[in-house]
Structure 1
Amino acid sequence: MSLLSEFEFSAAPGQPQADRHRVIRRNGAVTPFDADKIRAALTKAFLAVEGNDAAASRRVHDIVGALTAEIVAALFRRDDGRAFQIEDIQDQAELALMRGGHHKVARAYVLYREERARERAAAAAAPTPPLLNVRAGDGRLKPLDEARLVRLVEESVAGLEGVAAEAILSETRRNLYDGISADELAQAPILAARALVEREPNYARATARLLGDKLRREALSFLAGHADEATQGEMAARYPEYFRAYLAAGIAAERIDPELGRFDLGRIAAALKPERDLQFDYLGLQTLYDRYFLHVGGVRFELPQAFFMRIAMGLALREVDREVRAIEFYDLLSSFDFMASTPTLFNAGTPRPQLSSCFLTTVSDDLDGIFKAIRDNALLAKYSGGLGNDWTPVRGLGAHIKGTNGESQGIVPFLKVANDTAIAVNQGGKRKGAVCAYLETWHVDIEEFLDLRKNTGDDRRRTHDMNIANWIPDLFMQRVEADGPWTLLSPDETPDLHDLYGPAFKTAYEAYEARAARGEMKVFRTVRAVDLWRRMLTMLFETGHPWVAFKDPCNIRSPQRHAGVVHSSNLCTEITLNTSADEVAVCNLGSINLAAHVGANGLDRQRLARTVRTAMRMLDNVIDINFYTIPEARRTNLRHRPVGLGLMGFQDALHVLRLPYASEEAMRFADGSMEAIAYEAISASCDLAAERGRYPSFAGSLWSEGILPIDSLELLAEARGGLDLDRSSTLDWDGLRQKVKAAGLRNSNCLAIAPTATISNICGVSQSIEPAYQTLYVKSNMSGDFTVVNPHLVADLKARGLWDEVMISDLKYYDGSLGAIDRVPADLKALYATAFEIDAAWLIEAAARRQKWIDQAQSLNLYIANPSGKKLDALYRLAWKKGLKTTYYLRSRSATHVEKSTLKGVDGKLNAVSVAAVEAAPKACAIDDPTCEACQ
């Protein structure tokens, strides 16, 4: 309970009576009177007694103002200018509570005052805490090492502003008891520290350091065969010895590739940087602990720096000087400047190094092909691959089956099988299997496809666990614009249509329409294009699916259009690679931490160039080291060698630069930062080609003609008859064109922006290109519930004297938004506007600025606070007109989207404000849904 015990006043502007009145504190100090302090104290009192749920917060905000006014009026009736005693103010607060009928709060308040009086009287003679014993794993009791506990907590807060060891120790001791187990003792300070995160973001780092102690004890004890532990300071000297034992144990347990044991381990171990264990936030380290670190029988034996070095060594296996390269890769990963994708983190340096993130397949129109595709899904998903399936070639409902002289049931029954396969093969138990099915808009089954995620209707024709997406040709959008008709066809009668795009598609499609009008087609149906478009958007709003992706820009701008057709995207809509019955596209992902490459003066180009150069080498190595579960994937990947370098921490970078997301300055930064990344990535691939050779299908590509992504915009503009998009550039692209034409490229594709749902947590930065979701909330994922507080905002509020418990309460009350909090200045409201406060047109503009530099696509989520059919129509038409290739989730507020709670009075499983969902419909939102993490 933290009820008012002593007012601490400071001068407050706009309070003329405060100039005449003073407050005498118990220590004799005299301070100016400030009525806002009474309001703050009353707010704390109510929240302490009634809890911090939504209903309580509303009651508090409704009544505190009136009570404060009543107390101030009672004090000022004797307006004689003399000072008030603390007890005078407390007496008036007590009377006001009683008169207002708030008896529960008043009673607790009286008891609290009495308790505090007794505490003050007995403070000098506080009793010595009782001696506690800790129960070891074998059941033996030993005295609690109080000195080590203090040392551990003090070590956890070292160098962190705004955190106090005593605050953690006090709460920790309160939860200790005689006979506590060693595991419970390790958990106690972790729970104590995480309870304070909502007050000060740096407690998240302190919590991570305390978790690190638990991890060290677990790992060291496993390797030693008996209880062993070390503080962070002690571990600095032990890391090299530990690393050798870790590798030996991992190889013996068949968790680590024996080849790693043949490195120069003295050189490798000497390069480890134990101090980098200190840079984690709690969410990041807990995520690694739960899902990434190697274990035997559930016992983790991999510490963070060993984890990063294992990945680095795994990626350097085929390098000439592999120790040098492993150390270079390790430095990049462990600094959080760049992070490889989740499959690479899971599997690099292991006996089954399936390191690729995404696989795209085209399903053939026969039973062998359909069930081979489903089997391939299972094999690819087994080792953490995210899947995108192109189902358009499969004939539609009612189409003729020559072999049986029967009629097809269409694609839906097979999609149901694919859905259930994704559930059954759950990526080795590490996360849920995930697949996305794509269908082109002219397919005769498109209307049933739109209904797949509905919660009503025949459940045998529903796929509740599989993502679905529209693959939309420009001609359809033009028909929507013109309010024209649209003809649905079956691919068995239009076998070439799926492979065509641009003007060629228009010519062929209109010829098929004419044949259908003449009665020469067996299966077809004509609908109004606008009606089908509206139904797409309605289902997108109601169920979160199908996503919207545009076929023509994906193909017209594809550098590999000479080698095939882009038939779909992947699970997260950022990959646009060719597929066919013979080719399974593969992409290897990683993301630059943009926040680590900006400062007050802008983008650090020199550091960015170093990061990109090393990252591209790592991604290229993945292709050769990779464990391929099906031969088509291996053949395709070695032929084209695509990679997808992306970014994360965009919102954090804007905060560092003091740029509101909804501003032209932020758009210019989105443009310029992506231009720099693209320039360095293409240049690095060119250098790799000079060293290692061009990718085999380079000849005939757009690259070989000197057409870079910025140039391919003109191809799209020509096909559409214009394009509303800024085409400006700032770097020496002419020089790079000549370099690419002369030396070639190592990789057919270099750039793609993935969601980074998990790796951004590991690095402690904002997800991908996302705007801030909220400034204070609880993120829920497979590792539990984690308080997330925007540290940039807290720093700014502290600087202006606005960060206190009342502000925390207000942020919870207003769902992490500053907009309705009057005392927050307008500039901070603009800088820290959350996703639902930003017009989604800004998100599209930023994405369009990036898209001109990207040879693949980007996972673009769109947020609408109060969606309507008109808003959705305008938004997605804008995305198409701006030349975007794909979009991802549509996120809108659900009717009951916030659950408020607090750690006070619970066991630490939930803290701050818990966000149940931000979604277009149940299960639609992927902010905290682990199934959307398959790419990263």
Structure 2
Amino acid sequence: MTIASTSRSAADEAGHGAQLTVVRRDGSNTPFDATKISVAVTKAFLAVEGNDAGATHRVRDLVTDLTGRVVEALTRRGDAHRSLQVEDIQDQVELALMRAGEHQVARAYVLYREERTKARTPSDAAELVETKPVVSVRQADGTRAPLDVERLRVIVAEAAAGLDSVDPEQILNETIGSCYDGIAQHEVELALVMAARSYVETEPQYSYAASRLLLDQIRREALGRVHGEPRQASQADMATAYPEYFPRYISTGIEAGLLDPELATFDLDRLSAAIKPERDLDFAFLGLQTLYDRYLLHIDKTRFELPQAFFLRVAMGMALREEDREGRAIQFYELLSSFRFMSSTPTLFNSGTTRPQLSSCFLTTVADDLSGIFNGIRNNAMLAKYSGGLGNDWTPVRGIGAKIRGTNGESQGVVPFLKIANDTAVAVNQGGKRKGAVCAYLETWHMDIEEFLDLRKNTGDERRRTHDMNTANWVPDLFLQRVEADGQWTLFSPDEVPDLHDLFGPAFQEAYEKYEAAADRGEIRVFRRVRALDLWRRMLTVLFETGHPWITFKDPCNLRSPQQHSGVVHSSNLCTEITLNTTVDETAVCNLGSVNLIAHLTETGLDADLLRDTVKTAVRMLDNVIDVNFYTTPESERANQRHRPVGLGLMGFADALFSLRIPYSSEAAIAFADSSMEAISYHAIEASSDLAAERGSYSTYEGSLWSKGILPIDSLEILREARKGDVILDDAKSLDWDTLRAKVLRDGMRNSNVMAIAPTATISNICGVSQSIEPAYSNLFVKSNMSGEFTVANPYLVNDLKARGLWDQVMVSDLKYHDGILTNIDRVPADLRELYATAFEIDPLWLIKSASRRQKWIDQAQSLNLYMASPSGKALDELYRNAWRYGLKTTYYLRSQSKTHVEKSTLQGTDGKLNAVSATIAAAVPAAVPAVVPVTAPSVIDDTPLGEPTGAICSLEDPDCEACQ
């Protein structure tokens, strides 16, 4: 039997009588013929294995099997009578080859496909138009008009302007080939975007082309809605269109009840003249698509807000209480629209609207009585409704077996109430904009700590599980000291040891030991003794298995807090970067935004003057948020007005390293982390002190560390003394801190806290930069979020490979095969493999050391993910004890690799449909990881594998931390 006949048999069997047709590139239809698949696959095998390959039984059987797989995949994806695109069939062939492990053959097929594409691509779109039947386009009102090819040509040419690696004819040809008679206008626009997106994996510049094509769709939608009639405008038209549009946009938003009527009282002509339409071209596709899907205002799902109007609206909302409102709004707009700084997501969502809830994070303490517990859950719902991320301190709630005086019964502990809080977070999903999210914190001495550890497990009583709630351990230093000494640890119910909740450092140790002695004398009713090492081992095991609870450290958060005189830090927030005091009567609130490092970089380093200007304006913007904010609970308003904390962070750290040619795993990277954060810290404190001179210090300033001349860098000594020197801290500095210290003592501080590094999961997408302080976790992947799935290629790597003549389709195929990791691609020079090493190739101790250098400058904390290629008990023990010993305040997710990564297929033509680098934990754990050297003592845990994971760690490409930014 011939290959063709066996292939046809396989196709008939797989298709089950399917009557597929293929849409040719000239628009005509032909019957689907599976033998063409077998011929193409056979040629690929011949190219790799020689001319005799086709005669071997192995190849014949493989061709038959692969052809059957392709046909089966094509027929199971929808109507058996549907039409197929040629590219769709080719994608499935390549996918089948990859899945079969025939990677060399797949590479040959990719090259064959590329050659065929070049051979048949017309030199000009006119050739394609001549061979294609006349296509009519269905308008919104149902009328039809001929496809306006000339306008498409203008739009595509604009999209490619300045992008030397983008071929506008290629996009135009692809688009025209996808159009059919009767196609809807919005489908034409989509075809343009998809045509450009399909080339992103081979040329990152196509991401900007796709963004500009999407921009044309947004212009039509927004201008038509605001003007009340169909409107289209090219980018060249927007210099005059924006000033005409903007006042109408404000009126439209106010009439719809979406914008604050006070915006109409601004000098709109002055503001309109400040708009810079050319900045619409600065978005990469992921950024603009995210903006369109989730941020731009709409009426009945029709957007009426253009990107620059969006930035200006946000700026106006934050300038409402300024004396020169227009001048400040333009200043704020300049910062946002240039991507030098970006406010957090709640601010972007709500600034200038009728419900301006602009704050990012809320921290609460839950009281130990039924009324207090349900008031806390109610507050969660109210705070989450308007896009807040929540951190709840549940430590005061009494443990299992504790006495309930009102009923003379015994408590069921904290877990049943956590279940209710979990379900509340699911129910309140922030209006569909993004997931509601909450993190519960519990101190390590709480009686219910062991049940708390199991909350995210997939086994056990579902009534005592919280699959949607994040959890975190609030760990005192004394516990880790007991772990290292292999001592005992005593669990208590907080109703019998009420002051432990508010104590830290040496005072906590003294009280804790007194309670232990009281328990030994029989004076405490509910307590339990455990081996500290066993509990620590269980904490790490559960963290490995479920990704929770995170490890955060109570004592450094409090010992270095500027606000020790007015309360206690009882927890962090949803993303572990906020460390503010909470009580039952005060909900801590933080207003976040991030400096884009790469926007301040020169060939030699950071532009100090530009950075200072950015930070000074950004701190003013964040401080303004406090006064214009819409507060949903009295507890949050009370705390925010009294203490006025803000959290200025950064993003684009990995981009900066790439630009400076500094590998992440190097002393130079640690030094840059140190110097960049020192500069931000210096200017942020200076800016807050300037605001204090202008507006007055926050009301609880007196008695704070600030008022004593103790800056964050100085508070390192407090931690060192409390730990009796058992800590690794670097206190080197390069700026004139004495002068700044004197200024703070003279002028005061406007804000109790000024800095915090948040994950920037979404705003970094808008700006088109790497997330926060994260290392790159792949050089080619598909990123998923609530806007969809997007191909992302590392543009720095692509440019380097181009410069060395190494960027070609084979390299793309190799990157996909190796999950965006360069280590095993021999063609890539060693220096590039080192520079572009991904997160799982980097020894995590480098992450901790860099974070430690940043932490010395920060008055709050940083959202620090830790990556391990192959976790083991010993490795995790050393990792987290290093994090503690290097003085970190918190850690965030533990991320580990799965066995299956990027789907081994083409991304071309299927962008948005493939799996990305997964961050679920590996099912099998190797015995060792890249060396993490213990800093003082060997691991207290052996290297026994931790067991099978029972739940997924937060996905890298779909982070729940979006609730922060």
1:677 to 676, 680, 686: 680
C-alpha offsets along residues 500-522 of structure 1, whole Å, 9 cap, x if unaligned?
00111001000111111222211
Corresponding residue SS for 2:916 = strand
2:818 to 798, 814, 817: 814
| Matched residue type, 1:142 | A
Q: Given that residues 497 and 508 in structure 1 are in contact (C-alpha distance below 8 angstroms), is that contact kept between their aligned partners in structure 2?
A: yes
CA positional deviation for 1:929: 2.4
2:893 to 889, 892, 900: 889
1:924 to 953, 959, 962: 953
C-alpha offsets along residues 550-581 of structure 1, whole Å, 9 cap, x if unaligned?
00000000000000000000000000000011
Corresponding residue SS for 1:167 = helix
Q: Please, what is the CA RMSD of the aligned residues?
A: 2.5
2:800 to 786, 792, 796: 796
Distance in 2 of aligned mates of 1:193 and 1:41: 36
Q: State the match for 1:56 in structure 2.
A: 98
CA positional deviation for 1:174: 1.0
Q: Given that residues 889 and 926 in structure 1 are in contact (C-alpha distance below 8 angstroms), is that contact kept between their aligned partners in structure 2?
A: no
Distance in 2 of aligned mates of 1:129 and 1:251: 47
Q: State the match for 1:324 in structure 2.
A: 327
Equivalences for residues 457-472 of structure 1 within 5 A: 457-472=460-475
Distance in 2 of aligned mates of 1:315 and 1:189: 36
Distance in 1 of aligned mates of 2:879 and 2:217: 49
Corresponding residue SS for 1:915 = coil
CA positional deviation for 1:51: 3.4
Q: Given that residues 954 and 960 in structure 2 are in contact (C-alpha distance below 8 angstroms), is that contact kept between their aligned partners in structure 1?
A: no
Q: Given that residues 895 and 919 in structure 2 are in contact (C-alpha distance below 8 angstroms), is that contact kept between their aligned partners in structure 1?
A: no
Distance in 1 of aligned mates of 2:421 and 2:685: 37
| Matched residue type, 1:517 | D
Q: Given that residues 901 and 914 in structure 1 are in contact (C-alpha distance below 8 angstroms), is that contact kept between their aligned partners in structure 2?
A: no
CA positional deviation for 1:598: 1.1
Equivalences for residues 443-592 of structure 1 within 5 A: 443-592=446-595
Distance in 1 of aligned mates of 2:900 and 2:886: 34
| Matched residue type, 2:917 | V
CA positional deviation for 1:59: 3.6
Distance in 1 of aligned mates of 2:957 and 2:832: 26
Q: State the match for 1:413 in structure 2.
A: 416
Q: Given that residues 48 and 105 in structure 2 are in contact (C-alpha distance below 8 angstroms), is that contact kept between their aligned partners in structure 1?
A: no
Q: State the match for 1:193 in structure 2.
A: 196
C-alpha offsets along residues 676-716 of structure 1, whole Å, 9 cap, x if unaligned?
00000000000000000000000000000000000000000
Q: State the match for 2:75 in structure 1.
A: none
Check if 1:762 corresponds to 2:766: yes
Q: State the match for 2:311 in structure 1.
A: 308
| Matched residue type, 2:693 | A
Equivalences for residues 228-307 of structure 1 within 5 A: 228-307=231-310
Q: Given that residues 338 and 591 in structure 1 are in contact (C-alpha distance below 8 angstroms), is that contact kept between their aligned partners in structure 2?
A: yes
Specify whether residues 192 and 450 from structure 1 end up closer, same or farther in structure 2 by C-alpha distance, changes over 3 A only: same
CA positional deviation for 1:223: 1.6
Q: Given that residues 645 and 750 in structure 1 are in contact (C-alpha distance below 8 angstroms), is that contact kept between their aligned partners in structure 2?
A: yes
Specify whether residues 164 and 819 from structure 1 end up closer, same or farther in structure 2 by C-alpha distance, changes over 3 A only: same
Q: State the match for 2:206 in structure 1.
A: 203
CA positional deviation for 1:233: 1.0
Corresponding residue SS for 1:709 = coil
2:916 to 914, 917, 921: 914
**TM-score for both structures, normalised by structure 2:** 0.86
C-alpha offsets along residues 212-243 of structure 1, whole Å, 9 cap, x if unaligned?
00011111111222221111111221001111
Deviates more, 1:384-393 or 1:219-228: 219-228
Corresponding residue SS for 1:914 = coil
Specify whether residues 829 and 904 from structure 1 end up closer, same or farther in structure 2 by C-alpha distance, changes over 3 A only: closer
Corresponding residue SS for 1:56 = helix
Check if 1:596 corresponds to 2:599: yes
Check if 1:386 corresponds to 2:389: yes
Aligned residues: 855
Q: Given that residues 791 and 907 in structure 2 are in contact (C-alpha distance below 8 angstroms), is that contact kept between their aligned partners in structure 1?
A: no
| Matched residue type, 1:309 | L
Check if 1:647 corresponds to 2:650: yes
| Matched residue type, 2:717 | E
Specify whether residues 111 and 677 from structure 1 end up closer, same or farther in structure 2 by C-alpha distance, changes over 3 A only: closer
Q: Given that residues 575 and 857 in structure 1 are in contact (C-alpha distance below 8 angstroms), is that contact kept between their aligned partners in structure 2?
A: yes
Q: State the match for 1:153 in structure 2.
A: 156
Distance in 2 of aligned mates of 1:735 and 1:458: 59
CA positional deviation for 1:141: 0.7
Specify whether residues 926 and 569 from structure 1 end up closer, same or farther in structure 2 by C-alpha distance, changes over 3 A only: farther
Q: Given that residues 864 and 891 in structure 2 are in contact (C-alpha distance below 8 angstroms), is that contact kept between their aligned partners in structure 1?
A: yes
Distance in 1 of aligned mates of 2:439 and 2:762: 19
Q: Given that residues 40 and 806 in structure 1 are in contact (C-alpha distance below 8 angstroms), is that contact kept between their aligned partners in structure 2?
A: no
| Matched residue type, 1:544 | G
Distance in 2 of aligned mates of 1:451 and 1:439: 13
CA positional deviation for 1:40: 14
Corresponding residue SS for 1:51 = helix
Q: Given that residues 898 and 917 in structure 1 are in contact (C-alpha distance below 8 angstroms), is that contact kept between their aligned partners in structure 2?
A: no
Corresponding residue SS for 2:882 = helix
C-alpha offsets along residues 267-288 of structure 1, whole Å, 9 cap, x if unaligned?
0000000000000000000001
Q: State the match for 2:747 in structure 1.
A: 743
2:718 to 715, 722, 725: 715
Specify whether residues 140 and 488 from structure 1 end up closer, same or farther in structure 2 by C-alpha distance, changes over 3 A only: same
CA positional deviation for 1:317: 0.2
CA positional deviation for 1:895: 3.5
Distance in 2 of aligned mates of 1:179 and 1:458: 56
Q: Given that residues 547 and 954 in structure 2 are in contact (C-alpha distance below 8 angstroms), is that contact kept between their aligned partners in structure 1?
A: yes
Q: State the match for 1:219 in structure 2.
A: 222
Q: State the match for 1:829 in structure 2.
A: 833
Specify whether residues 109 and 492 from structure 1 end up closer, same or farther in structure 2 by C-alpha distance, changes over 3 A only: closer
| Matched residue type, 2:892 | Y
| Matched residue type, 1:480 | V
Structure 1 regions of 5+ residues with no counterpart?
A: 1-36, 69-104
| Matched residue type, 1:736 | L
Distance in 2 of aligned mates of 1:528 and 1:734: 47
Give me the identity figure in percent: 67
Distance in 2 of aligned mates of 1:111 and 1:391: 59
Structure 2 regions of 5+ residues with no counterpart?
A: 1-45, 52-62, 67-88, 923-948
CA positional deviation for 1:927: 2.1
Distance in 1 of aligned mates of 2:222 and 2:328: 27
| Matched residue type, 2:240 | A
**TM-score for both structures, normalised by structure 1:** 0.89
C-alpha offsets along residues 826-862 of structure 1, whole Å, 9 cap, x if unaligned?
1000100000000000000000000000000000000
| Matched residue type, 2:731 | R
Deviates more, 1:169-178 or 1:652-661: 169-178
CA positional deviation for 1:129: 3.7
Corresponding residue SS for 1:205 = helix
Distance in 1 of aligned mates of 2:460 and 2:704: 47
| Matched residue type, 1:820 | N
Q: State the match for 2:847 in structure 1.
A: 843
Specify whether residues 116 and 259 from structure 1 end up closer, same or farther in structure 2 by C-alpha distance, changes over 3 A only: closer
Corresponding residue SS for 2:753 = coil
CA positional deviation for 1:362: 0.3
Q: State the match for 1:935 in structure 2.
A: 964
Q: Given that residues 919 and 925 in structure 1 are in contact (C-alpha distance below 8 angstroms), is that contact kept between their aligned partners in structure 2?
A: no
Corresponding residue SS for 1:717 = helix
CA positional deviation for 1:124: 9.5
Distance in 1 of aligned mates of 2:898 and 2:680: 36
| Matched residue type, 1:830 | E
Distance in 1 of aligned mates of 2:50 and 2:749: 65
Q: Given that residues 560 and 748 in structure 1 are in contact (C-alpha distance below 8 angstroms), is that contact kept between their aligned partners in structure 2?
A: yes
Corresponding residue SS for 2:789 = strand
CA positional deviation for 1:328: 0.1
Equivalences for residues 165-184 of structure 1 within 5 A: 165-184=168-187
CA positional deviation for 1:177: 1.0
Specify whether residues 54 and 489 from structure 1 end up closer, same or farther in structure 2 by C-alpha distance, changes over 3 A only: farther
| Matched residue type, 1:494 | V
